[in-house]
A = this chain, B = another copy of it.
Amino acid sequence: MPFIISFYQTKFGELWEKSLSDLIKETIFGVLKEAFLDINQIDTIFFSNMLAGILENNLHSTAKISEIIGKNIPIFRVEAACASGGVAFHLANSYLEANSEKTVLVLGAEKMTDYSPEEVTLALAGAASGEEQEVGLTFSGLYALMANFYLQRYHYTEESLALVSFKNHFHGSLNPKAHFQNKITVEKVLKSPYVAYPLKILDSSPISDGAAALILTNDKRLIKKAKMKIKILASAVASDTINLSQRRRLDEILATKIAAEKAFRQAKIKKRQINVIELHDCFSIAEILAMEDLGFWKKGDGGKIIKELPTMLGRSNLIVNPSGGLKSAGHPVGATGVKQIGEIFLQLNNQSGKRQVKKARYGLAHNVGGSGGTAVVTILGS
Contact = CB atoms under 8 A, between A and B. Distances in A.
A73 B241 contact: no
B60 A80 contact: yes
Contacts of A128: 60
Nearest to A67: B241
A59 B107 CA distance: 19
Given A60-B370, A126-B60, A67 B98 contact: no
Contacts of A72: 238-240, 254-255, 258
Interface in A229-265: 236-243, 246, 254-255, 258
A130 B238 contact: no
A81 B99 contact: no
A59 B54 contact: yes
Interface stretch (A89-97, A280-288, A295-303, A335-343): A89-97
Contact of A246 (B67, B80, B129, B240): B67
A236 to B, nearest CB: 8
B66 A239 contact: yes
A260 to B, nearest CB: 12
Interface string A47-68: 0001101101111101111110
Contacts of A90: 74
Contact of A54 (B53, B95, B258): B53
A228 interface: no
A67 B133 CA distance: 16
A60 B369 contact: yes
B99 A243 contact: no
A218 B91 CA distance: 18
Contacts of A57: 54, 122-123, 125-126, 133
Contact of A98 (B78, B97, B123): B97
Given A57-B122, A80-B62, A97-B99, A239 B127 contact: no
A324 interface: no
A29 interface: no
Interface string A25-55: 0000000000000000000000000110110
Contact of A59 (B21, B50, B94, B246): B50
Contacts of A370: 60, 63
B60 A127 contact: yes
A79 B46 CA distance: 11
Contacts of A156: none
Contacts of A242: 60, 63-64, 66-67
Contacts of A64: 129, 242, 373
A77 interface: yes
B126 A63 contact: no
A74 B97 CA distance: 17
Contacts of A81: 59-60, 62-63
A329 interface: no
Contacts of A53: 53-54, 79, 126
A161 B276 CA distance: 62
Contacts of A240: 63, 66, 72
A31 to B, nearest CB: 19
Contacts of A56: 130
Contacts of A238: 72-74
Given A53-B126, A63-B370, A73-B239, 11 more contacts: A50-B59, A57-B125, A60-B81, A62-B373, A63-B242, A66-B239, A72-B258, A74-B237, A74-B238, A76-B80, A98-B98
Rank and list the top 6 A-B pairs by shortest CB-CB distance, nearest first.
A63-B373, A97-B98, A66-B239, A74-B237, A60-B81, A60-B127
